[in-house]
Structures are given as C-alpha cells and as structure tokens.
Structure 1
C-alpha cells in the first residue's frame, strides 16, 4: 500500500491540483468569483 501511495497517489493528487487550478482560471470564472466575494458586503 505504501508503494501505491508513493507513486500513483502522488500522481493523482498532482493531477487533482492542476485540475483545480485550471478550473479556477477558466474563461468566464471572474464574474462568479466577484459575485461570491461580494456576498458578505450585501446589505439585505
């Protein structure tokens, strides 16, 4: 199990990290991020 975690587990986590970064930087995500950032400032 240790050998599996050292090799394939590291690869899986690296791919997940790259995918999360790519998802955050995708075109059109700025609008959603700005809306989420403004939620605490809204006075409803």
Structure 2
C-alpha cells in the first residue's frame, strides 16, 4: 500500500504541473503572432470554390 500512496502523491503534484504546462503551451501556440491569417484561411477553406448557392431544379 505504500507504493500506492507514493504514486498518488506523485500524480497529484507533478500531474498538476504537467497539466498547467500543457495548457500554457496550447495557449501560446493558438495565440502566437502570425497565426491569425492561417486560422482565417482554414476557417474559409470550405467556401473557397463557392460563388453562389447551387440551383436545384426539383425545388429541394
């Protein structure tokens, strides 16, 4: 049972440190300089070849 207590304490302390560090890395990566253009391009990629809505002859 002593190993369980040690592993639990290790996970509580270093697990929290790891999660906070991972969160900080994700925030830095998302809000890095120059990423706005890439994010806007990715967001509008689905509409790149669309000029107008498709005309359906059967009314659907």
Which category of TM-score, normalised to the shorter sequence, fits these structures? 0.7 to 0.9
Determine if the alignment matches structure 1 residue 26 to structure 2 residue 45: no
Rg: which structure is higher?
2
TM-aligned CA deviation for residue 40 of structure 1: 2.3
Moved over 4 A (4+): none
Determine if the alignment matches structure 1 residue 14 to structure 2 residue 20: yes
Structure 1, unmatched stretches of 5+, are none
Please report the RMSD computed on the Cα atoms of aligned residues, expressed in angstroms: 1.4
Equivalent position of 2:9 in the other structure = 3
TM-score, normalised relative to structure 1 = 0.82
Structure 2, unmatched stretches of 5+, are 1-6, 51-60
Count of aligned residue pairs for this structure pair: 44
TM-score, normalised relative to structure 2 = 0.64
Larger helix proportion of the pair = 1
